[in-house]
């Protein structure tokens, strides 16, 4: 879901593929039972802290976000939050100074942590590649080179579909809302990152809707 | 902790509804002071999810709730609202109000 919440660019989730159907009385994986309201609000706060350069707050919020979104123990949570932060730091500089390979390495280690904790995803390297691929699509979209939101939606759908083992079509509502939240965030940044902007509640609401739609698609 | 069998002294339900999902959670306060919640319904379908610990209270608060000199439900509702959930009848309450 939000792996790299920091720049608003990592979006994976909780997730993980659970093979086979849920049996009667069985409880779903911890990765599929996150609280979308809490996680969405946390991620919105992370985005704000990042763009307003509130680093201490960002660090605390990132740890909380990883904890609530991915359900790992505290040691793995702190390690995972660091890996996501590091991936974002490597990715953040404008081209040609960004380091996509380094970002992929960090995210591969992050997904490997998830695999250790929950047994999924099967291939952390593939998940990391899909993750950084959609970051790249988002960057293009942010620059306005591509006014169409569909490539972003497609790239994010591919990531979610792989991580959660769900058909891409079922994930479109979650992805659409997330893409909309990112567009709002980009507008907020362009308008000067005002803390009392009416864009912030709208962004937060769309992130919550996105996580609620995601939960509805993957919970089993 | 989340698996505690301590007696439940208060219980409320919170909700969230959007175009693609309607969710209901159950919140409880146990006699040992632990507050937990879990998802109980998704799109009108009953779900069985693990309890998640939210906080632990002790001292005067817990004593007041156990003896009935204060009502725990509004306090639980405040916690749920603080997390962004909707709770019927407690829309404007904040944590700490009793």
Instruction: Give the pLDDT score at A187.
Output: 93
pTM for the model stands at 0.85
Q: Does A35 contact B47 at a Cβ distance shorter than 8 Å?
A: no
> Where do the structural domains in chain A lie, given as residue ranges?
5-15+28-218
What is residue A18's DSSP assignment? -
CB neighbours of residue B14 within 10 Å: 24
Name the residue among A68, A37, A30 with its Cα closest to residue A204.
A37
Tell me how far apart the alpha carbons of residues A38 and A209 are, in angstroms, rounded to a whole number.
11
How confident is the model over A27-77, as pLDDT tens digits?
667 777 899 999 999 999 999 998 998 988 988 999 999 999 998 999 999
Q: Where do the domains of chain B lie?
A: 8-82
From chain A, pick out residues whose CB is under 8 angstroms from the CB of B51: none
Q: Which residues of A fall below an 8 Å CB-CB distance to B?
A: 25-28, 30, 33, 35-38, 40-41, 173-174, 208-209, 212-213, 215-216, 219
Does A28 sit within 8 Å of B16, measured CB to CB?
Answer: no
Q: What is the rounded average pLDDT for all residues in chain A?
A: 86
Cα angle, residue A158 at apex, residues B43 and A74 outer, rounded to 5°: 70
3-state secondary structure A106-160: HHHHHHHHHHHHHCCCCCHHHHHHHHHHHHHHHHHHHCCCCCCCHHHHHHHHHHH
Q: B-chain residues within 8 Å CB-CB of A35?
A: 25, 39, 52, 83
Let me know how long chain A is. 220
Residues (pLDDT < 50) of chain A are 1-8, 10-25
What one-character DSSP code corresponds to residue B86? B
If you measure CA to CA, which chain A residue comes closest to B83?
Answer: A38
* B20, closest residue in chain A (CA to CA): A213
Distance from C-alpha of A170 to C-alpha of B50, rounded to nearest angstrom: 25
Q: Which of A11, A24, A138 is nearest to A69 (CA)?
A: A11
Specify the pLDDT at position A92. 85
Q: Which residues of A touch B1 (CB under 8 A)?
A: none
Beta pairing partners, B26: B13, B38
Q: Euclidean distance between the first and final Cα of chain A, in Å? A: 16
Across the interface, whether the CB atoms of A28 and B85 are under 8 A apart is answered no
Name the minimum distance, in Å, from the CA of A100 to any CA of chain B.
34
The two tokens of residue B95 are 């944590």
Instruction: Work out whether the CA dihedral B72, A69, B50, B21 comes out positive or negative.
Output: positive
Residues of A in contact with B48 (CB under 8 A): 25-27
What is the average pLDDT across B35-57?
91
- For residues A166 and A169, give the distance between their C-alpha atoms in angstroms, rounded to a whole number: 8
């Amino acid at each position: 879901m939000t792996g790299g919440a920091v720049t608003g660019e990592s979006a994976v989730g909780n997730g993980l593929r659970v093979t086979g159907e849920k049996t009667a009385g069985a409880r779903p994986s911890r990765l599929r039972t996150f609280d979308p309201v809490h996680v969405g609000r946390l991620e919105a706060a992370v985005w704000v802290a990042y763009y307003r350069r509130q680093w201490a707050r960002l660090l605390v919020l990132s740890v909380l976000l990883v904890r609530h979104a991915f359900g790992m123990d505290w040691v793995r949570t702190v390690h995972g939050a660091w890996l996501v932060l590091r991936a974002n730091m490597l990715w953040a500089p404008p081209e040609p100074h960004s380091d996509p390979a380094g970002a992929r390495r960090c995210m591969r280690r992050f997904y490997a942590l998830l695999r250790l904790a929950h047994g999924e995803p099967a291939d952390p390297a593939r998940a990391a590649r899909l993750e950084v691929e959609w970051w790249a699509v988002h960057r293009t979209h942010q620059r306005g080179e591509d006014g169409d939101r569909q490539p972003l939606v497609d790239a994010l759908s591919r990531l979610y579909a792989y991580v959660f083992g769900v058909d891409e079509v079922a994930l479109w509502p979650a992805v659409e809302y997330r893409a909309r939240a990112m567009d709002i965030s980009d507008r907020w940044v362009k308008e000067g990152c005002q803390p009392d902007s009416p864009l912030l509640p709208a962004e937060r609401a769309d992130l919550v809707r996105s996580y609620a739609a995601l939960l509805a698609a993957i919970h089993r | 902790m989340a698996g505690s069998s301590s007696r439940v002294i208060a219980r409320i339900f919170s909700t969230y509804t959007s175009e693609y999902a309607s969710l209901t959670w159950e919140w409880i306060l146990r006699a040992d002071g632990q507050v937990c919640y879990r998802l109980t319904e998704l799109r009108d379908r009953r779900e069985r999810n693990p309890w998640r610990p939210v906080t632990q209270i002790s001292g005067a608060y817990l004593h007041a709730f156990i003896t009935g000199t204060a009502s725990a439900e509004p306090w639980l509702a405040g916690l749920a609202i603080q997390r962004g959930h909707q709770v019927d009848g407690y829309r404007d309450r904040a944590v700490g109000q009793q």
